[in-house]
Amino acid sequence: MSPIAFNGTAVEQNEEGFLVDPSVWNEELAVVLAKAEEGLDQLTDDHWSVIRFIRNHFNESGNAPMVRSMCKGTGVPLKRIYELFPSGPAKGACKLAGLPKPDGCV
Amino acid sequence: MPELDELESRLDALVEGDFQRGLEVFRSKLKEAEASYLNSCVHCGLCASSCHYHRADATLENVPAHKLDVIAAVFKRNFTAMGRVAPGLVGARTFDREMAKAWVDAVFGRCSLCGRCSINCTIGIAMPRIFRAARAALGAMGLTPSDLQATVDNSLQHGNNMAITQEDWVETVQWIEEELQMEVDDPEAKLPLDKKGAKILFTVNPREPKFFPLSLQASAKVFWAAKEDWTLSSDPGWDLTNYGLFNCKDDEAGAITQNLVDAMERLGCKTLVIGECGHGYGAARWEGPEWLQKSYPFEIKSILELMDDYLREGRIHVDPSKNTVPVTLHDPCNLVRHGGICEAQRRVLRKSVTTFTEMTPNRAENFCCGGGGGQLSMARYKNRRIQSGGVKAGQIKDTGAKIVVAPCHNCIDQLMELNKEYKLNVQIKTVAEMVADAIVTTA
Amino acid sequence: MRLLVLASAIWTILAMAFLHHKTKGFGKRTLFSKPAGSPRKGALYAFTRGMAPWAKESVMLNLPSYVAGMAFHAGVFSAFGLMCLALLGFELPFFLLVIAQVFTLLGAIGGLSLFVKRIVKAELRGLSCPDDFVSNLLSTAFALLAFLWTLVPSMESLWLAEGALLLIYAPIGKIRHCLFFFTTRYHLGAFFGRRGTFPPEGNSHA
Ligand code: SF4
Ligand code: SF4
C-alpha cells in the first residue's frame, strides 16, 4: 500500500491500512485515517471518546482493549460502536487509533 | 513493507540443509492417496475456473493445476524415477530458492485451501491435501508468513488466538450474561462457566468476546430457550479456533486441540459443541483426532446440528415473521465441503426466516469467501484476498438478499470487508443470531 | 511385430504394477476421527453421478474440450481393441468395423484438437511440459493409424510399431493416469464420503 501523505511526511501503512509504526500516531492523523479508511468526514465526540480510550489502553498495555471495556470505559453502548465505525471495533476503531492489526480472525 | 522484506530475506537466507529438511517434512506428510494425487494431473486445465482466484484474475499462477504443479515438479524430481532420469520431459524441478519462492506464492499466496478445485478436477485430485503438505514443509524451513504464525503462537502461549486474558474473558461472559438477562427478562438466564458435569461444553471464536459479543449472546439465548444444560470453560478450552490448520504444523495444531480435550475431561461434559466457525469445526471435528493420533472419548457436534435438533424436537420455537428481510446463506468451505455439515443450517434458516434465497452455486459447490486458509491473517496477500472475494460478492449481489448469514466468524470478517469494498449494502449475521431473533417463548 | 507389441504390453503392465506398488508403499493413513458418512459410498458416487457432466461445473464451462476428450479416449480404447483383435487374427463383422472406424477417426480428431488447443491457448501452453505433447501425439497417431489401417491393411506394421511405442511410453509419462485416474478418484470419493459430503443431498446449482 502506498504511504498516506500527512503534514508533508509520508506515513506508512501495511497492506490492510494499519499503521506500520504505531508510534507515529496522533489525533490529526486519526482524522486523515478516518477519511481514508472509513470514509468518515467528521469525527463526533463519541468517535473521539472510543478512539482515545483505545489509544490509552494501547499505550498502557500494548494491545487492543476488549469491546466490553470500550463500552464500559466510554459509556458508548455496544450497538452504537458498530454504527460509529463501519468496519467494526477492530478494522475500524482500532485502526483509527493507530494500533497494529490484531491477530486472529480479523 | 517490513513483513514483506522479512519473508524475502528468510528466503534469501535458505541454505542446503533447509531444503533437505523441507523435503523430509514434505515426504513425511504423504501417504498413498497423496502419492497418487501427485502422479495424476494430466494438465487439462479444466480446473482453472473452479478457483475463485482464477475467476477474479485469470492468470496461469492462479490455475489450481499450476499451484499443484510447482509442488509436483519437486516431488517428481526427488521421488520418481522419471523425474530423476528425464526431468525436462516430465517437468521435474530441483527444490531450490526459486522453487521455494514459487511454493510460498502458490500455497500461502494464492490458495485458501477451499477444495473447490478438488471436486471439479477431471481426475479427482484433492489438492488441499498436497498444499497442506507443502505448507508444512515451508514451515519447517522457517517460511510461514509471520502474521499467520503469530496467530498460532497466541494460541500456544495464551490459550486463545487473540491473547485474551482469563480475566477479560470471564468478565465479558458475565457482561453478556447481564445483557441476556435484560434481553429475555429472566434473571435465571445464564452463561454458565466451568459447570462440572454439564451436558454440553460450548466453544467460541475469540473474536466474539473481543469485538463481536452479540453472536455469543445469541447462542446463549438459544441454549436458554432450549433449557440446555451447558457450560463455557474459563481455561483455554473456550477457544474453538486453531490456526494450526493453516500453518500446517501438526504438532502445534495438536497442542491447540489438546486444550479442548483437556477442558472436556476437566469438566466431564458429554458433548463438545463447536460454535459457528468453519475452520474451527474442521480442525476440532476432523483433523484434531488425527493430530492427536487418537479418537475422542466424547461426542463432538456443530451448534448448527444442535439448533437443527432443537427445532425438530420442538425444544425451541421460532416465528419466521420476525425475520422478514431477504436472507442468503454462505457455505464456509471447512464446514460444508470439507466438513460435511450442509443441510442442518438450511433447515434451521428456512424455519426462521420468511425469504431465503440460495446463492448459485451453493453447498459443496460453493465459492470460498476468499478469507479462508489463513488468508485473513496474512496481510501481505490482502489485495488478492479482496480481489478473489469479488466472486463471492457477485454471488451475493445476484441473490438480492439484504442479510448474508455466514456460520463462520472467519468468513464473517472477510464478508464485512467485501461488503465495504464492493458496496453490497448487506448485513452479515450468524445462524444463531437469526434464530435468536425469531425465538418465541410459549410461556 | 507381434512379439514387439507383446513385449511392450508386458513392459507396460509390469511398469504400471511397479508404479502402483510404489504408491502403495507410501502407506495407508490410519484415521481417528469418527466418520460421518461412508467412504465406500463416496467412492461409488465419485465414479458415477459425481462424474456426470452436469455434476461438474468445470465440464459445463468447457463442453467442447470435454467432448473432444471423451472422443479421444473412446478412440484410443477402440484402437486398442482393434489391435488386440488384429493380433489374435480376428475379423470384425462389418457393422462393428464401421463403429470402430467412426470411433478411431473421431478420437484422432479429438486428440488433434486438444493438441492444437494446448499450443494455441497461452494458459494451457504455460501449464504444459514436453510430456503433454508427446503423450498426446503418440495417442492421437495411434487412433489415426488404427483408422487408416481399416482402410489400408498394408499399414499394419506401421500402426503396430506405433502402438508398441505408445505402450512403452505409457508408464513413463502422463498416460500413467490410466492407472492413477482410478486410484485418485477412489481416494477423493473415499475422503469426501467419509466426511459426509459425497453423495450430496441437495442440489448445489439451484
Ligand atoms: S483449494 Fe481453492 S483456492 Fe486453492 S487452488 Fe483450489 S480452488 Fe483455488
Ligand atoms: S483438472 Fe485436474 S487433471 Fe486437469 S489440470 Fe486441473 S488438476 Fe490437472
Q: How far apart are the first and last CA of chain A?
A: 19
Cell of B143: 517460511
pLDDT band at A6 (very low <50, low <70, confident <90, very high): confident
- Vertex A49: Cα angle to A47 and A50 (nearest 5): 65
Ligand nearest to the CA of B62: 1
Question: Mean pLDDT score of chain A, rounded to an integer?
Answer: 92
pLDDT value of residue B5:
64
pLDDT value of residue A2:
63
**Is the pLDDT assigned to residue B112 strictly greater than 50?**
yes
- Alpha-carbon distances of B332 from B259, B280, B411, B420, C94, rounded to whole Å: 24, 11, 7, 20, 56
- SS3 for B126-175 is CHHHHHHHHHHHHHHCCCCCHHHHHHHHHHHHHCCCCCCCHHHHHHHHHH
Span B182-196, mean pLDDT? 97
B413 and A106: CB-CB below 8 Å? yes
Structural domain span for residue B138: 2-143
**Is the pLDDT assigned to residue A1 strictly greater than 70?**
no
Which of B68, B69, B111, B119 to mutate for ligand 2's pocket (most ligand atoms within 8 Å of CB)?
B68
Span A49-65, mean pLDDT? 96
- Residue B67 main-chain phi, psi, to 5 deg: -60, -40
**Is the pLDDT assigned to residue A83 strictly greater than 70?**
yes
Task: Report the number of distinct structural domains present in chain B.
Answer: 3
Chain B residue nearest residue C64, CA to CA:
B46
Rg of chain B, C-alpha, whole Å:
22
**Is the pLDDT assigned to residue B443 strictly greater than 70?**
no
Which of B77, B110, B143 delimits the end of a domain? B143
B241 and B274: one domain? Answer: yes
pLDDT in tens, B118-155: 999 999 999 999 999 999 999 999 999 999 999 999 99
Cell of C155: 499399414
**Is the pLDDT assigned to residue B79 strictly greater than 60?**
yes
Q: Where are the domains of chain A?
A: 1-106
B349 and B391: one domain? Answer: yes
Task: Specify the DSSP class assigned to residue B105.
Answer: I
Q: How far apart are the first and last CA of chain B?
A: 59
- SS3 for B180-213 is HHHHHCCCCCCCCECCCCCCEEEEECCHHHHCCC
The candidate with the shortest Cα–Cα distance to B91, out of B113, B68, B117, is B68
User: Which candidate from B34, B46, B285 shows the least CB-CB separation from C62?
Assistant: B46
**Is the pLDDT assigned to residue A3 strictly greater than 80?**
no
Question: Is the interface score ipTM higher than 0.90?
Answer: yes
B12 at A interface, C-beta within 8 A: no
**Is the pLDDT assigned to residue B1 strictly greater than 50?**
no
Sequence-distant (≥ 6) Cβ neighbours of residue B378 within 8 angstroms: B108, B109, B145, B147, B148, B385
What CATH number is given to the structural domain containing B339?
3.40.50.10700
B282 and B300: one domain? Answer: yes
Grid-cell match 495444531, residue found = B253
Q: Which atom of ligand 1 is nearest to the CA of B112?
A: 3
**Is the pLDDT assigned to residue B49 strictly greater than 80?**
yes
Pocket around ligand 1: residues whose beta carbon is below 6 Å from it?
B 50-51, 53, 64, 67, 111-117, 127-128, 368
Q: Where are the domains of chain C?
A: 2-6+53-165
What CATH number is given to the structural domain containing B60?
1.10.1060
Span B97-106, mean pLDDT? 98
B98 at A interface, C-beta within 8 A: no
Q: How far apart are the first and last CA of chain C?
A: 56
Ligand nearest to the CA of B113: 1
Burial of B107 (0-12, 13-18, 19+ CB in 10 A): buried
Question: Mean pLDDT score of chain B, rounded to an integer?
Answer: 97
- Alpha-carbon distances of A62 from A98, B131, B281, C91, rounded to whole Å: 12, 35, 31, 86
Q: How far is the CA of B65 from the centre of ligand 1 (A)?
A: 9
Does the annotation mark A94 as catalytic?
no
C-alpha–C-alpha distance, residues C146 and C163, integer Å: 9
pLDDT band at B176 (very low <50, low <70, confident <90, very high): very high
Pocket around ligand 2: residues whose beta carbon is below 6 Å from it?
B 41-47, 64-65, 68, 121-123, 125
Whether domain A1-106 has CATH 1.10.10.370: yes
Helix (H, G, I), strand (E, B) or coil at B15: coil
> Does pTM surpass 0.80?
yes
- Vertex C168: Cα angle to C167 and C169 (nearest 5): 95
Spans of chain C below 50 pLDDT: none
Span A62-85, mean pLDDT? 95
B306 and B322: one domain? Answer: no
B57 and B25: one domain? Answer: yes
**Is the pLDDT assigned to residue B343 strictly greater than 70?**
yes
B413 and A20: CB-CB below 8 Å? no
High-pLDDT (> 90) share of chain B, %: 98
Nearest chain A CA: its distance from B286 CA (Å): 20
C-alpha–C-alpha distance, residues B203 and A18, integer Å: 30
Which of B250, B282, B310 delimits the end of a domain? B310
pLDDT value of residue A8:
77
**Is the pLDDT assigned to residue A61 strictly greater than 50?**
yes
Q: Of B173, B210, B211, which to mutate for an interface test with A (greatest number of A Cβ within 10 Å)? A: B211
B194 and B291: one domain? Answer: yes
- For B:100-159, CB contacts with C below 8 A are 118-126, 129
